[in-house]
A and B are shown apart, each in its own frame.
Chain A
Amino acid sequence: DVKVTQSSRYLVKRTGEKVFLECVQDMDHENMFWYRQDPGLGLRLIYFSYDVKMKEKGDIPEGYSVSREKKERFSLILESASTNQTSMYLCASSRDRGTGELFFGEGSRLTVL
């Protein structure tokens, strides 16, 4: 079975802190994605990556950056957390560009005070 693991289920941070959300997948997938989910707004794509060291902006990249130094790991970085970044963050991966099936991690619920 595909396993996508997110480093933290629950985080509480203060405004201005730098926040790292880590995601690791164990199936050698090429594509990895970060979404955030908010009530009434659904799931929105922040960033995605086709390959190591490659990244593409999604629909709402402002205030975020990403890092993909290894194929299995995709990190989401909040350089200076703000209260409007309080959300559920979901990481996902898929095998290759020709296969759309996406597998999600358990999610990381971030609260910024």
Chain B
Amino acid sequence: GIQVEQSPPDLILQEGANSTLRCNFSDSVNNLQWFHQNPWGQLINLFYIPSGTKQNGRLSATTVATERYSLLYISSSQTTDSGVYFCAVPIKAAGNKLTFGGGTRVLVKP
């Protein structure tokens, strides 16, 4: 099946710093999602991004489908950005069930 790999696995940031998270996938996909899992366990949708770039406040994402990767940028990080960030790609043949990457655990220190 399709493989989804995220890097780095862990990231410690000082508040105010910028960072880039990466998601590589092994096969062509028709879409990709980024999620933030908060400390209470809920997965929050960040971006639904098949290609190109999207921005939402201090977060932005870029997917280059032809090269099979996506990047999530966090600018001016805040302590509330802490948590685990997942990327996931849908398997079209299986009702769009998602294959998840292993996640990047982010800790933003005040």
Contact (Cβ within 8 A) A50 B43:
no
| A88, B96: Cα distance in complex, Å | 22
Closest CB in chain B relative to A24 CB, distance in Å: 16
Contact (Cβ within 8 A) B42 A106:
yes
User: B52 contacts the other chain (Cβ, under 8 Å)?
Assistant: no
Contact (Cβ within 8 A) B98 A102:
yes
Closest A residue by C-beta to B103: A42
Count of interface residues, chain B, beta-carbon cutoff 8 Å:
24
How many residue pairs bridge A and B at CB < 8 Å?
A: 61
Identify whether the interface residues of A are mostly helix, strand, loop, or mixed.
Answer: strand
Contact (Cβ within 8 A) B97 A48:
yes
Residues of B within 8 A of A90 (CB): 41, 43
Contact (Cβ within 8 A) A102 B88:
yes
Pairs across A and B, CB under 8 Å, 12 listed: A31-B96, A43-B100, A45-B97, A50-B95, A56-B95, A58-B97, A94-B96, A100-B33, A101-B33, A103-B45, A105-B42, A107-B40
Partner of B98, one of A98, A100, A106: A100
User: A33 contacts the other chain (Cβ, under 8 Å)?
Assistant: yes
User: A99 contacts the other chain (Cβ, under 8 Å)?
Assistant: yes
Closest CB in chain A relative to B48 CB, distance in Å: 4
User: B83 contacts the other chain (Cβ, under 8 Å)?
Assistant: no
| A19, B104: Cα distance in complex, Å | 32
Task: Known A33-B97, A45-B97, A94-B96; judge A101-B102 contact (CB<8 A).
Answer: no
Contact with B along A20-64 (1 / 0, CB 8 A): 000000000001010001000011010010100000101000000
